[in-house]
Each structure stands twice: as structure tokens, then as C-alpha cells.
Structure 1
Amino acid sequence: MDVAELCRDLVRIRSENPPGDTREVAEAIQCRLAGIGIDSVAVSRDGHRCNLIVRHANPALLLCGHLDVVPAIPEGWTHHPYAADEADGYIWGRGSADMKGGCAALITAMEASIDAGIEAPVSMVFVCDEETGGCYGMEYLLAKKVLRPCDTLIAEPTPPLSPCIGQKGLARISFSFSGEPGHSSLYPAIGKSAIMEAFDLISFLQEVHGRHYPVDGEMEAMIEQSSAVLESVFGISGLDHVLRRVMFNPGVIRGGEKANIVAERCDLDLDLRIPWGCTSGEIVSEIASRAPSAEMRVTAASDPSCTPHSATITRRICEGIREVHAREPLPIFQWAASDARHLRSAGFPTVEYGPGEVTSIHGIDERVSLESLRQAERTYCKLIQSYAPVKPE
């Protein structure tokens, strides 16, 4: 079974998160690994969200993927999101890019390496809940200390020449605002609107978004380089601010009781991405000071992070890209977040690199090209080989 066929098989196994049940896809991968002589163990915190681990006694390289995908409804898709149709040089479907294509390429690269007699000290992990933060997946495994720190590659989709060596920080915050109800005809003279309290906080976040956070020269150069790649990938100019500013999204807002009642309750869920030059703690504290009467719960927080250009994992993935593509790699910082933040904070030098159309992830018509799958597989083979002990002649 080649990488494309394996990718199609994995996409057909539904593992939407929520609800996050990854047992079936983990079992399929476990059977595939067993067929090439690789033992793995399933680890679960709740019996449904299943992680799969391949342990090496003394690993030099950890290969990572996630098994969960964001939900999809079939309306609007060119191909059904779980049919895994192959057409026009792509495999179409939810999770094809993010990131069952990457998982498939990791597995077939390991298979090719074993067939070639390469014995590299490699561990593997396929986690269950990257899309919802990691408390059942990577965070849980790191807390249980079932993974040993070593160089790490996550097969998240990236541009073909651009491994991701850094990411913005992240903060997710839930608020519950309380108001004083009254007749709408008397507001704002009488009554206090919980909805307007939330609106005032969102207005403040617009001010925060407008700030510029200075960084040193090396970081500035990386941000410029990454911004150019971002603009090229999305075909949109003027995206330089994405990596330099606090980006925020009021993703969920629920409030009010009736149009003619001053709102007594309003709930707001925020997602913020934190640039270099500040910390998530600074931003969260400042936001808290602007909503002193609200109930506030921080559900996730991490600072911007990066792996140095000089790190072994960075150099070796770049060498693999250079050999496969015959072009010079261009490492970047990423505008989104992944399990890399958990791994770096736990002492794992981490880089992301994988197949998939970056512009299609989490969207309608998500897809991965057959060419990118095969190029990723070859790049992973070269990376695995680079960690194998040199045999005496």
C-alpha cells in the first residue's frame, strides 16, 4: 500500500473532534505498523480518545501526528468530505491535509526505511486531540512522562519549502458577564447590559490589535521572511501584521433574554494569538483588568516559541527538503498553533513539516496533492536515515 492509498484509508475513518473518538483510526494504524514489524501501544485517558505510541528505548527522533480532525458537513464540497476521492492530482476530504496525509507519509517512510535496512532510534506518537488543545493527547502524554525528550518532527501541513520552526503564542479565554436587567426603552439611563460589557471588551481588543511589539534583528528578519511566505501561500498582500500583532477572534458569543430586556447575561469565548515581543501572561492580565466584574476562565495559554536554525532537527529537515526538491529551504514562523508549543516547553526541539494544501485546512474542499504526499515521504525517509548510526565499513 503506497502513501496515497494509506491516506485515503485514514480519511475514510471518521475521527471528528468533537466528539474526539479516535479508537478506530488508531487501531487501523496499529495494525498497519504491526504488519511492518513495529510494536505500538494505545494510551487513553478516557477510553475513547486514543493515542498511539511507538517507543524506542533511547530515541534520537520523535515523529508526531494527530488523528483527530475538525468536523465537516457535506454541503458545499466538490467531493464528499469522507469519501477520500482521488481526482485532479489530489486526495479530497476532511483531514487529508490536517493531517492524515502527514500521518500516512510518516508511516510509509518508516516502512521504506525498514525495507532499506535502516535502523534509526525513532519513536512515533499519534495523538487524539490536537484540535481541541491536547489535554487528552500531547499534554496528557507529556504529564505522564511516557515520551522522552529528543528532536521532534510534527507532520503538520506546511509550504513545501518551508518547515515551521516557530509559532505565535496562544490564549483562549471564556468570560461570563453579568448585567442589571431593565426595560429596553430606558437603557442606558437605567440598567446595565451584559452584552455591552462584552462589546466594550471587544472594542478594547481592537486597540490591542493595533499595537506593534518590537523584536531584535534576527527575529525581525524571520518575521519578514515568514510574512512573505504567508502572503505567497494565500495570494494576499499586506499580511505582515498577522505575525506582528495580537490577532483575536470572538469565536462564540451568547447573551440576552429578549429584545426589550436589558441583557442580564452574556458569555464570550475569545481566541488570541500572541506575537513575539510580549507574553500571553501580559496580554491575559491586561484583558482581565478591563473586565473586573466578569467571571473569567483561561482555558489555554502559551508564549511564542521557536526552535533555532542551528538545532539539529532544523538542519536535518532542511537537508532533506533540499535533496528532495533541489531548491533551498526557507524556514518560517507560523501564524497558528499546534502541539509544538507543548513539546518545546517540555524540552523537545520541534519542527513542523508536512504535505497538504495549507489554504484548505479546516475549510470546504480540504485536500492534499499526490505529489506533496510522495515528496513528504521521501523527505521523511532522508530525515530518518540522518538519525541512523553510521555503520563501520
Structure 2
Amino acid sequence: MQVSRICSDLVTIKSENPPGETADVIEYIRAFLEKIGICQKIYADSNGACNLVSEIPQSRLLLCGHVDVVPARDEGWTHPPFSGDIDDTYVWGRGSTDMKGGCAAILSACETRVNRGLELPASLAFVCDEETGGEMGIRHILARNALHPCDCVIAEPTPALHPSIGQKGLCRLEIGFSGTPAHGSLYPAVGVSAIVEAMSLIGYMKELSMTDYPVDEHIREIIEDSGDVLSQEFNIGGVRDVLKRLTYNPGVIHGGEKSNVVAQHCDLDLECRVPWGCNIPDLLKGIQDHAHRGKIISQETHEPSITDPLCPLVSVTCSEIKKVYGGTVFPIVQWAASDARHLRRHGFRVIEYGPGEISTLHAVNERVTIDSLEKASLIYGGIMQKYAEN
């Protein structure tokens, strides 16, 4: 089956997260793999969060993708978000880039290999919950020892010549601030505003985001090279600072009781992306010390992670990309988080490489070029062949 058709089929099957129901799209993948003779196992809960694993004992390679997508409203789309429309250049729709296009390329590469009478040298995993943290997806599978550590390619969208070998860390905090209520007409002479206390912490985070952290030379070189690639890809200035500095987002704030009452309570949901060289325990201590009258209620942290750029997985992937695209191929790091961090924590060496129009990721008119789908399928096939030979 043409990879563009597989991608289109996947896009038409809704799997927005939230709510995270992926039973239908996983059933499509299960039937596809069954048709080409690949056995698999489904891990599901009662709410329709479904994952599929096809593990080959002692395999040294895992191909992985997530099937959940961010929600999409109909407004503003040239093609309806779940149409899966195909024209001469693109497959259109939510998830075509992130990352049902990558999943389609994996399936196509497997089908091509089986049709040639070749054994599949890779395990497969299609997971349900990357967009909201992986608790019901890859983390669920890893907790059940359904996969053994090996080299892993995640088919996340990347620049065509530049697979990703690392991501910044992640720190998500819910912080509760308390104030002293008083009549609003007397503030700030009387009372302490919990909202202003939260704003004070945000001011500290702005100062912290200007800090440069010490890193060893090879990380610094990768960050510099990555900055060049990502600034061109996203047309964003200052990308090097984004990669080497702490970034923060006060994403949600709820506070106050009434406009004429000094706020007694305020909740702040704060997310930080943590660069290499930043010590997370020190970061948390600094935040708590500067959160006057504030308390960290919940936290989720992940260290920055990276795969050795000299390991065979990286060299094989770069070699296969060069065979298909030509040009100068080298790995990069990025600011976004993915399932790679969970896999690395469990001993996997992970690289991300996949098709997609990155500028449309999570955006209106998300789409993927048919050419990039076809080339990604060839590259995955080449990687599998290398692992079969060695």
C-alpha cells in the first residue's frame, strides 16, 4: 500500500488527546500488521487508551511512534482536520506531521521488507499517550517490561537531514501561594496579595532565564550546530539561547476572590525546559526560596537526555539519510520533550527521525509531503537492513 494512503487512513481515524481514545487507530495498525504476518500484543485500559507492541526476542532495534494527536477545531483549515485529503504534494490533516506520517512510514517500510521475503529485524511499538506525558503510553509499556532495552528510532518529525539525539529536560510545577486578605482600596498599605507573590516568582524566573550554564565542549558544539538548523527550520532568532538557557512558561494562573479583596490564594502552573548543565535540585531550591508565601504542591521533573553521537545507531541513521537525500547530514538536539526521555531512562539508545512539515506541527493546516513520507520509509528500511546484517 502506498505510504501516503496509509498516512491518510491514520489521519481519518480520530485519536485526539485528550481524551486519548486510541482503540480504533490501534485496530487499524493491528490489522495491517496481521495482514503482513507480524504478530503483536495490545495493551489497553477500559477507557480506550490502547498501545500495540510487536517485540522480536533479542532484537537490537525498536521502531516506535505515537498515535495520539493534539485536538483540532474545524475553523481555519483549508482541508478539514480529519479529512486525510491527498493532493499532488501533501497529505493533509491533524497528525499528518505529528506523527501519523512517521507511523505510516514505519508500517510501509515493514510491508516492503516482508513483501521482499525478508525477516523483520525490529520490534515495533505504537503508543497512545505521548502528547500528555506518556503515562498510559510508553511509560505504561515500560512498567510492564514489554520491551527490552535496545537501539530505538522514534519517528517524530525532524529536519530532513538532521535526526535528533537529545532534548532539554522538563520541570512542571504547581505552586500554591497564600496572601493576607484585606480591603482592596487599602492595598498595598494593608494586606498581602497572593497574586502579586506569584508575579514576583515569575520575575525571578525571567532573571533565571538569562543564565548561561556550563557544559562540556562536545555538548556546546552540538548546541551551536543545532541552533543553526533550528533557526532556519523555524525562522526564529535566538534559538541558541533557547537551547542553552532555561525557558519558562507560567501557563495557568488562578487567583483571587473578588476585585475589591486582596487575594488570599493563587495557584500557578509553571513549566520550565531545562538545559544541559542546569542542576534540577538546585533549580527547585531556588524556586522555592523565591516563592515567598508559596509552596510547591506537585512537581514532575526530567533531566536533559542525549544519545552518544558516536554510537552505531546515530552513524547508521545518518548514513541511511545521506543515501536517500545526499547533502550534509548530522545530528542535533532540540528543546521539545518526547517519549525519548522515558526510553533513555530505561536504558535505550534513542534517536528521533521522521517526516513532516515542522512549521505546521500542532497548527492549523497541518500536513506532510508525500515525498518525505516515501523517503522516510526508505530510510527506515535501510536502517532495518543494516541491523539485519550486523
Q: What's the TM-score bracket when you normalise by the shorter of the two chains?
A: over 0.9
Q: Distance in 2 between matches of 1:281 and 1:67?
A: 34
TM-score normalized by the length of structure 2: 0.97
User: Deviating runs (4+, > 6 A) in structure 1?
Assistant: none
The one-letter amino acid of 1:356's match is G
2:55 counterpart residue number = 55
**Structure 1 residue ranges without an equivalent (≥5):** none
Q: Secondary structure at the match of 2:147?
A: coil
1:331 counterpart residue number = 331
How do 1:82-161 and structure 2 match up within 5 A? 82-87=82-87, 89-161=89-161
Tell whether 2:228 aligns with 1:228.
Answer: yes
Q: Distance in 2 between matches of 1:292 and 1:192?
A: 11
2:168 counterpart residue number = 168
Q: Secondary structure at the match of 1:172?
A: strand
CA contact under 8 A between 1:62 and 1:125: conserved in structure 2?
yes
CA offsets 1:281-314 (integer angstroms, 9 cap, x no match): 3322321222253332344211111111221111
Per mean C-alpha deviation after superposition, the further-off stretch among 358-367 and 197-206 is 358-367
Q: Secondary structure at the match of 1:269?
A: strand
**Deviation at residue 88 of structure 1 after TM alignment:** 5.7
Q: Distance in 2 between matches of 1:226 and 1:88?
A: 32
How do 1:25-104 and structure 2 match up within 5 A? 25-87=25-87, 89-104=89-104
CA contact under 8 A between 2:197 and 2:292: conserved in structure 1?
no
The one-letter amino acid of 2:147's match is L
Q: Distance in 1 between matches of 2:43 and 2:179?
A: 45
CA contact under 8 A between 1:279 and 1:304: conserved in structure 2?
no
Tell whether 2:387 aligns with 1:373.
Answer: no
The one-letter amino acid of 2:150's match is C
CA offsets 1:247-291 (integer angstroms, 9 cap, x no match): 111111122222212112222111110111113333223212222
1:3 counterpart residue number = 3
CA offsets 1:108-153 (integer angstroms, 9 cap, x no match): 1011111122224311111111111111111121122111000000
The one-letter amino acid of 2:86's match is E
CA contact under 8 A between 1:118 and 1:388: conserved in structure 2?
no
Q: Secondary structure at the match of 1:130?
A: coil
Q: Distance in 2 between matches of 1:388 and 1:300?
A: 39
**Deviation at residue 46 of structure 1 after TM alignment:** 4.5
The one-letter amino acid of 1:62's match is L
CA contact under 8 A between 2:11 and 2:94: conserved in structure 1?
yes
Q: Distance in 2 between matches of 1:250 and 1:78?
A: 32
CA offsets 1:357-383 (integer angstroms, 9 cap, x no match): 112111111111111111101000001
**Structure 2 residue ranges without an equivalent (≥5):** none
Q: Distance in 1 between matches of 2:76 and 2:101?
A: 22
Relative to 1, partners in 2 of residues 1:217 and 1:153: Cα closer, same or farther, differing over 3 Å? Answer: same
2:388 counterpart residue number = 388
TM-score normalized by the length of structure 1: 0.96
1:270 counterpart residue number = 270
Number of matched residues? 390
Q: Distance in 2 between matches of 1:108 and 1:248?
A: 39
The one-letter amino acid of 1:116's match is R
